[in-house]
Amino acid sequence: MKKACWISAGILVLLMVVSGILTIISINSSSLARNRIGLVRIEGPIIDSEKTVNEIKEYARDASIKAILLRVNSPGGAVAPSQEIYAEVKKAVEKKPVVVSMGAVAASGGYYISAPASRIVANPGTITASIGVIMEIPNISGLMQKIGVRSEVVKSGKHKDLASAFRDLGDDERLILQSVIDNVHEQFIDAVALGRDMEGNDVRKIADGRIFTGEQAVEAGLVDELGSLEDAIDIAAELAGISGKPKVIEKKEKRSFLDLLNSSISGKINDIIPTIELKYLFSP
């Protein structure tokens, strides 16, 4: 009888210990679930915004994600995708902290998308800023003449073949294109001024396409502080009120063979066929 009582007591104690361990694990798991930071990587030229915008949206909606960290390592890219990402970052900041960690380069469009963040962190040697717009127009008219080929154009209006690669650029065409460049440049300046809470004229003084190091960008008010990716994680955790080490999560991109094939074909076509495109791009 006494032996049975001891066995029962032992089982009860064991159950209590197991229950306590499970409770601790549950509490820790719950704490980790509340201490999450969503990491979005923007790497290489900004050509399309869909993936980045969707990730930011998802993290902004997720209540378990307390802050969003953007790791930007990009020289910039096309204007419209940069503006779409900028707009989504601006929306996300209204819901939770968004911290940018700049890598080797976060210039032009790479800086544009960073501007509205809650905090911008750069390495001392990061190449950033390059606030400007560029349009490159290929001119193969000389080559065409050499090989004896010419282009016949039928158009509905005087400027329908504006900036054609098959002839020299006219003076009136240059004025039209310059007005477009100037307008998009002003949009860039306005976006930086709004995102960084700076005066438009102060931004305009440094918005001539020049680049800055991370250190210089801090002095110019374009970056908040110097630090690594780990430093940016700690800053995001602090802004979000996370105690302890945060759990950083990120989406893993899944690309099928067809996706790779399509992107490769698209790239080859763009190499062959001259296109006119406005770019927020730092291109040394």
Which of 102, 147, 148 is CA-nearest to residue 128? 102
Give strand pairing partners of 99: 69, 119
Give strand pairing partners of 250: 39
Does 2 qualify as catalytic in the annotation?
A: no
- Residue appearing with tokens 């003076």: 171
61: CB partners within 8 A, 6+ apart: none
Q: Which of 49, 74, 108, 130 is catalytic?
A: 108
- Which helix (H) or strand (E) segment holds residue 278: the answer is strand 278-281
SS3 40: strand
Residue pair 169/140 in contact by the 8 Å Cβ criterion: no
Q: What does the alpha-carbon distance between residue 157 and residue 155 come to, in Å, rounded to a whole number?
A: 6
Does 264 qualify as catalytic in the annotation?
A: no
- Which helix (H) or strand (E) segment holds residue 28: the answer is helix 2-34
Q: What does the alpha-carbon distance between residue 153 and residue 267 come to, in Å, rounded to a whole number?
A: 26
Q: Which of 51, 160, 205, 245 is catalytic?
A: 160
Which of 129, 97, 98 is CA-nearest to residue 215? 129
- Which helix (H) or strand (E) segment holds residue 11: the answer is helix 2-34
Q: Which amino acid is it at 38?
A: G
Which of 26, 3, 30 is CA-nearest to residue 244? 30
- Residue appearing with tokens 């902290």: 97
Residue pair 191/112 in contact by the 8 Å Cβ criterion: yes
Q: Catalytic residue numbers?
A: 108, 160
